Amino acid sequence: MHCGGCHNGKKLMVAIQPPLLNGIFQRPFLPSGAPATDAQVRSTIWGGRSGIMPPFQNALSSRDIRDIIEYLHTLKPSQTPESSDSAS
């Protein structure tokens, strides 16, 4: 399981394309319109978005999600997320 599997900028066969994650915390709002906060991103990863993104509450620990959020904070707008185990 890797975030970059969907959040990679490649066209997927889904109605709503997953956003790139680079620079996600550099903007005041997420692509969904929600505030770009750790709490909002944690909630989205944990519970998913109905019909858009699956929940990862059974696949990732709280620590995993904290690590992902810390990683997302390091991404600048010109960088693309890596598909590595550390980035999940």
Q: Domain ranges in the chain?
A: 1-9+23-88
Please write the tens of the pLDDT for every residue from 14-67. Answer: 777 888 889 999 999 998 899 999 999 999 999 998 888 999 999 999 999 999
Which residue is listed with tokens 């970059």? 4
The fold adopted by the segment(s) 1-9+23-88 is Cytochrome Bc1 Complex; Chain D, domain 2 (1.10.760)
SS (H, E, C) 15-47: CCCCCCCCCCCCCCECCCCCECCHHHHHHHHHH
For residue 5, give the DSSP letter: G
- The token pair that represents 83 in the structure block: 């598909």
Q: Using a CB cutoff of 8 Å and minimum separation of 24, what contacts does 70-73 make?
A: 72/21, 72/24, 72/25, 72/41, 73/25
Does the pLDDT of residue 73 top 70, yes or no?
yes
